[in-house]
Copies of this chain bind each other. A is one copy, B any other.
Amino acid sequence: MDEFDLIHSITPRTIHHSSVDVGIGDDAALYTAKHGVQEIVCMDTMVEDVHFKLHYSSPEDIGYKALAVNISDIAAMGGIPKFYLVSLAVPAKWTESEIKAMYEGMNELAKLYHMDLIGGDTVSTSDKLVVTVTVIGEVEKGRACLRSLARPNDIVFVTGEIGSSAAGLSLLLEENNPQNLFLDTDYFINRHKRPQPRVSVGRLCSSIKRAALNDISDGLASELNEIAEASCVSIEIDESILPIHSDLPKLHSNWKEWALFGGEDFELTGTVSKEEWEVLKQECKIRQLPITKIGHVREKTESNVILKTEKTTMALEKKGYNHFK
């Protein structure tokens, strides 16, 4: 495969943002930042056999997800994704058409958000595929939804449903074979392979007075811990109102673990004041964006995150959990 041919074949034919002054084809990309905004930058890496396996993920799936997880970080800041750069370390056995298919998977998502591919690098490696994506976005000055913005008495919310991605992964790894043939297992698998970043909800959060926000990459418990730590508050959530897919409990007795610690849902979780919650809920309803209240923010106590169940309360650690009552 000729590197120059590959670069030519992946160079976009159209540019969505007129602020791109130079895209692919020079030493670096050039763009002009808008006045009155802050630039947002994130970078995430996915490694073969650590984050995905080739026997169940197509090149398109891998490309799609590598971009999706970065867009999700921009969404979690309340921003608009604008540009992306892609760096691939590709094993020699990959064909040019497989590499192009990875870019196709990214392009599918990029088109949706009018994002421009502006740079990157493709190098060979002897072993595992490594995909690194950098996404640049923007948010109106002072409107970013930081983890440190949670305050006591805030409402805690989560978008969509949680645990479905972990369920999908479990199905892909054939850890369990559900007996019930009427279960739509493809739904869960797709939630794992093709997560939908919640850019619209992030944008709504950036438009209200104050919102703390995180995207669920490491699991709800971990993300809420990060918000609680950064904001010096405690967060209490109610197990009975966590939004899950109605089929989730039918898949495996593990379903509560999946919902709390599973991760890779790429939903958003955060906190807003009670007044702003009413606004946010209404705006989401109008746009048919699913969002659920799952708890409250408290003054800081010994535990960062507390789960209330029917019978007890327990501390939710960043990873795993401890019973303390």
For A26, give its contact among B21, B124, B128, B146 (CB under 8 Å): B146
A18 to B3, CA, bound (A): 39
Q: Given A126-B49, A132-B87, verify A119-B39 contact (CB < 8 Å).
A: no
* A205 part of interface (Cβ distance < 8 Å): no
A109 to B44, CA, bound (A): 23
Helix, strand, loop or mixed for chain A's interface? strand
Stretch at the interface among A72-80, A169-177, A184-192: A72-80
Minimal beta-carbon separation of A213 from chain B (angstroms): 8
Q: Which residue of B lies closest to A127 (CB)?
A: B127
Stretch at the interface among A136-144, A157-165, A286-294, A303-311: A136-144
Beta-carbon contact of A44 and B87 below 8 Å: yes
Q: Which residue of B lies closest to A147 (CB)?
A: B26
Beta-carbon contact of A30 and B26 below 8 Å: no
Q: Given A30-B139, A130-B89, A132-B132, verify A119-B318 contact (CB < 8 Å).
A: no
Q: Mark A28-41, 1 if CB is under 8 A from B, else 0.
A: 11111101001111
Minimal beta-carbon separation of A5 from chain B (angstroms): 12
For A35, give its contact among B35, B126, B146, B214 (CB under 8 Å): B35
